[in-house]
Structure 1
């Protein structure tokens, strides 16, 4: 059975197509009797209005397209929740895409959002997508970068100062008397990872008695952290770092799992102090509660949507850049 159309409803109700349209969109303009006839015809025919098609005819959908690096990371789910809550207040919805740190998948989502003529795009970018976002803007689709500062860029951005976060983490470890430090993170092509490492190096630069080893991993995941931890466990005690700054909390949790395995013989924070980044909910619930650098994830998402809504209203406004300051959260993994 084919789907019923507005014309079918009009024929069944004995009214014009325009009257059906008014009942659907402006019922206050139609007499109660006509509204009743149209509603009865809709029920009898099982008519379902196609809001997506109507929105596209109007030139813009009521959906915000959002792309994040890794939806498995609670930081990004909290960020998406903040964006969704703010969008809902304006009658908008959020469609979430996971690039999985893959530039091809990232491009595919942007193509899809362009085809759907979304209200706007919020994206934690993996690749250099300046040209791609410029094309979206030319088509009337604004974009806001999240979790990535772009103070001189052509697009608005909302982020945390990751350079400051890296310094904060390493300064805390050095304040504990730790001198053989390691940074565990990667891929280094992710801007946030590179910035956190740069901040860590800046903190160490003024302390000639402190070393900073870089242990690069291929993903910001628990499994990658566990593999790096296993390699560290395999070293002799005098070759291990006495403190580790992990690029995010998932990596921290993987490291902690490797150190806690039977026979590993590595105590936290006794032998190795450990600090992560993001302060996800799981950090405080770990077997050894993890110290971390806190980012206001939900606030980042909320602020990004606020900026996006303002740019829809005023497309010619200059880019707006918001940078939040990170916060050191000290727990048992560095508090021996």
Structure 2
């Protein structure tokens, strides 16, 4: 069945197309009698206004595209919530895309958002996308990096100092007397993971006799954390501390060490994660973690994006928040 357009409504109501348009957008300009007939016609015909077309004609969309690394990770769920709250405050909506740590899927969402002429794009990128974002900007679609600092100062970003976070987490483990630390997580090609590892290495290098072993994972998931936990159990010498690249990996490691290996946490192995997602405090051994202001990241990114969309000559901004160490039972808190 063909969709009903504004012309069909006008014919049914016995008014002009312009009168229907005014009824939809400026009802105060239409008489009560005409407005009543138009509303009756809309109800009878089942007319649904095409806001996408309307915004395209107006040259301005009311939607923002958001691409995250893994929608299963509560960190990105909270980030999206913050972005959505700020967007709604400005009468806008957010379309969410999950790249699933896949460059092709990431590129597909960027293509889709460009086709939809979104107001702008927020993205937590998987790979290097500086050139792609440059092309978006040239076509009038601003972009802001979220949860990753910009290496290209021409692109705005809202991030957390992950080098400081990794350093903070490793320093905590060293301060409680641990010397054989395993950093678990990956791929290291993800900038956030690489930065957290850099910070951990800096802390370990400052203490004589301390070592840092890297146990890479294929993804930042509980399943990969379990696999890494089994690798640790099978190693010739267990570490006395584990720093995981995020809380999901840490929870997988924790489950495997305690359930399959009968390892005492924190007695035998102290453990700390990253992100401080809600479930961290409810784990079988409450998880120490590095907290990020997740919803604030999303809200701030939307604010910057809308500023850039409205400016004739936008000036990119780099906002960097500081992380916070949260100590719980998994590291002796």
- TM superposition score category, shorter chain reference: over 0.9
Supply the distance in 2 between the matched residues of 1:73 and 1:39 (Cα, whole angstroms): 45
1:60: how far off? 2.6
| Residue number in structure 2 paired with 1:92 | 92
Supply the distance in 2 between the matched residues of 1:316 and 1:192 (Cα, whole angstroms): 30
| Residue number in structure 2 paired with 1:288 | 285
| Residue number in structure 1 paired with 2:297 | 300
Structure 1: which 5+ residue stretches go unaligned? Answer: none
Supply the distance in 2 between the matched residues of 1:151 and 1:230 (Cα, whole angstroms): 36
Retained in 2: the 8 A contact 1:151–1:321? no
| Residue number in structure 1 paired with 2:244 | 246
**Is 1:319 aligned to residue 316 of structure 2?**
yes
Retained in 1: the 8 A contact 2:130–2:152? no
Supply the distance in 2 between the matched residues of 1:8 and 1:235 (Cα, whole angstroms): 73
Supply the distance in 1 between the matched residues of 2:197 and 2:154 (Cα, whole angstroms): 25
| Residue number in structure 1 paired with 2:140 | 140
1:152: how far off? 4.8
| Residue number in structure 2 paired with 1:51 | 51
What are the Cα deviations for residues 205-230 of structure 1, in whole angstroms up to 9, with x where unaligned?
Answer: 12121011111111111011111111
What are the Cα deviations for residues 10-57 of structure 1, in whole angstroms up to 9, with x where unaligned?
Answer: 112111111111001111111111111211221222211111111122
1:317: how far off? 2.1
TM-score (norm 1): 0.97
Supply the distance in 1 between the matched residues of 2:284 and 2:75 (Cα, whole angstroms): 20
Structure 1 residue ranges (4+ consecutive) displaced by more than 6 angstroms after TM superposition? none
Give the paired residue count.
333
Supply the distance in 1 between the matched residues of 2:206 and 2:40 (Cα, whole angstroms): 78
Structural RMSD (CA): 1.1
Supply the distance in 1 between the matched residues of 2:300 and 2:312 (Cα, whole angstroms): 17
Supply the distance in 1 between the matched residues of 2:269 and 2:322 (Cα, whole angstroms): 27
What are the Cα deviations for residues 159-196 of structure 1, in whole angstroms up to 9, with x where unaligned?
Answer: 00000001000000000011111100110110000000
TM-score (norm 2): 0.98
Deviates more, 1:112-121 or 1:147-156: 147-156
**Is 1:271 aligned to residue 268 of structure 2?**
yes
| Residue number in structure 2 paired with 1:159 | 159
